[in-house]
Structure 1
Amino acid sequence: MSESTAPLGETLDSILARLAKLESAAGIKSGTPAPAASASSSSASSSSSSSHPAVAAYDKYLEEKLGPFVAACDDLGDRTKVLGEAVSEAWRAQGAFLAVAVKCKKPSDQTALGPFFKPYQAAMAKVNPGRDDWEFHEKTIKESFGILQWIMMPSKPKDYILEMIGACDFWSNKIRIKYKKTEPKQIAWCDALKGLLNGLAEYVKGFHLAGVAYDMTGKGGDLPSDAPAAAAPAAAKPKPKAPAAAGGAGGLLAELAKKKSGDSAATGLKKVTKDQQTWRKEFSGGDANPPPAPKPKPKPAAASKFGASKKPLGPPVFQFQDQGMKWIVENQTADTNPNGVLTVEVTDPKHQVYIYKCENATIDIKGKCKAVVVDTCTKSNVLCDTCISAVELVNGKRMKVQVRGVCPSIAIDKTDGCLTYLSAETASLTTFVTSKSSEMNVSWPDANGDYKEKAIPEQFQHKLDVESGSISSDISDLYSH
């Protein structure tokens, strides 16, 4: 500040100091204490300290895990918003049950829990999977409602929850594969749901390890005949409004103070010279930012003879996931294993095997397993013993599948070239479900042990009956011999 303006600065400082004293004095006179807030805070603290640890922990779990999942549902649109509301209702209803259970004695008959399942059933009724882009989302949520039945488990409810999480993963993994590189919000939705389910498993492990924590003091009463009302979700806190600018002399002096201190709206702005003003003839354009050069479009990966991309596979993966009871086999080839064969030793019928993006590989699954999913594989061989549920092939090329034991169902979807070998034990039991696939054949042994082979129809003849409005479908004549 120059010597000529120094007196003005001192006068301004004096005026601002006096104004601050006046405002402070006015605030003291007009301000009043707020005993209600203190009482409310004290009451809330007292209530929190008197709550059961299991109930308080469940409320904290909902705050940390349920909120992010509901927000992820809202981000995806109206269809998933309904799913978030249904899950919120069911999970909060379970919280209401746990709050009652810790004050009541353990029921002698599990039928006493029947009324507490009505809120779950009402929430589940809102989820109706359809045949569209949201089918996998709705099926995932439908499976997740089964997790809430852990309160019926007399012991080790966490193990039951982990098993059910595996069933949810079966559908959510389809979402991950479909949107892995295109929509991060879809992956975030799957992650939020997985966090919600895993969080419940950890909560149950900490507070209900041997079943629901009922009142063991002998002072608790019986469970009520009606389910208690669930607590409503906490309302979002309103954002504080920005203080309005003071008017009159006070506002003027405040702005003068900002300018004096250098903290004004114009602070940090660069001075624009004449040669930088686009409307002047002196404009040279020297400081103007040139438009960004267009990025070259990536060339599509060349396709091989069998339709697989020549782009190299990622690192091979072979691991077992405890959560979900699943074997993961990815990016395997004939060169990644001794003798070109990868053996999966299944030790529990609850295990699933997920095979993804393998080329020229042979995967041998030993032992009885729950299900086998083969996704985006090329020229690979999959051998398995007994499969309890189904073997599913998706997006495959030139695949071979052999069932040495029993498999009730084989699903083939978007696969070109699939040869299935069935054992004599399962040949008359296995059913095939196919869609958008071609060059499918099945081979089985006859009574003499000689293998026969038959093509699975991929072409059909459809005829419309105008009077009845129905369509009749028959296999094409190509498969009549």
Structure 2
Amino acid sequence: MKYNTKRDRPTHKTNYTYLVNDMPVLVSLPQNELAELLKPISEKILGVQNFREKNRGSKLFNHLSAVSESIPALGWIAVASKPGPYVKEMNDAATFYTNRVLKDYKDVDKRHVDWVKSYLSIWCELQSYIKEYHTTGLSWSTTGPVASRVAKAAVGSCPPPPPPPPPPGPPPVFDTETSKDDISASRSELFAQLNQGEAITKGLRHVSDDQKTHKNPKLRAQSTSVSSPTKTPSPTSPKVIPQQHHLPVLQLEGKKWRVEYQENASLVISEAGLRQVVYIFKCNKSTVRIKGKVNSIIIDNCQKLGLVFDNVVGIVEVINSKDIQIQVMGRVPTMSINKTEGCHVYLSEESLNCEIVSAKSSEMNILIPQNDDYKEFPVPEQFKTVWDGSRLVTEAAEIVG
């Protein structure tokens, strides 16, 4: 158990955050009591991890690694909020090693394949359980002995609750009887006039030609000079939505590095690990250098961003971005570019077999090292599709001009 900073170290019973086996915890318990509650499960998790380290020469080392890397998921009860994503990260860490097991035993021994399916299903079922019953974290009892002691200590420090608001007044009384009488009388008068037939015109007054506007020029002149007042609609000022300013973020949460809202920054992540994911979100005019080997990298909603990394065991994904430059120093198996305008990828000698998948993107260029320099190759944006009699055949279309 370790604290993030000295400032986080609690000295009394209150809400605070600290780490238990690299898991953020937010509780309302005294430190010694929480440590005592989590001690048995922490010891078991540590025992599993130590067993893996003592058996590095075992033929089942990938099996042991899958269990060792994912077993901290049992500590989901101590995660402050959204423990489901935390369990998923542990499951992803296990998948990295179970894929190796499948590669070694897929066509050799089906028992290992069945073991992989059964083991991964444990964490999938745990995610489903958490999503259904504890989406925002475990709810601590408010009536237990610890909660009672905390409640007693808080008595007297909190002001009494405000008095309840007064009950609403009685509804307004409408004179419904009078309204009905008026409506009936008006309706009777209307029907009486309509029943007169041709005699209804006897009450009309005759209008001479000099009183008709279309036959009297003087009346037309008066009608054009006098304009009826019109209501000018009051201009409504458009709603101004204040622009939200976010603080820049560079921190590790569980297994995810969050790099967000960076402006004109030059950042270096030198403590990246194999099980970690780097998520870069809304960073503009910045550069990010990642040292070491990570699981995957995601660039989302960024502009004029430069990324340099050593090795990625999974995928590098670019989405909804503009003017991105990526340089690979080591290896990367797959890159995905989606909804991006302007992306330059500098490959290394070790990453020439990288698969690059693109969709809804433009101005993409791949630079290949040749003779101590890079040669640029554009990624096709136009395609030609024809029917060969049995299926559709699509190929890149050369620009003619």
TM-score, length of structure 1 as denominator length: 0.39
Task: Identify the structure with the greater strand proportion.
Answer: 2
Looking at CA atoms only, which structure, 1 or 2, has the larger radius of gyration? 2
TM-score, length of structure 2 as denominator length: 0.46
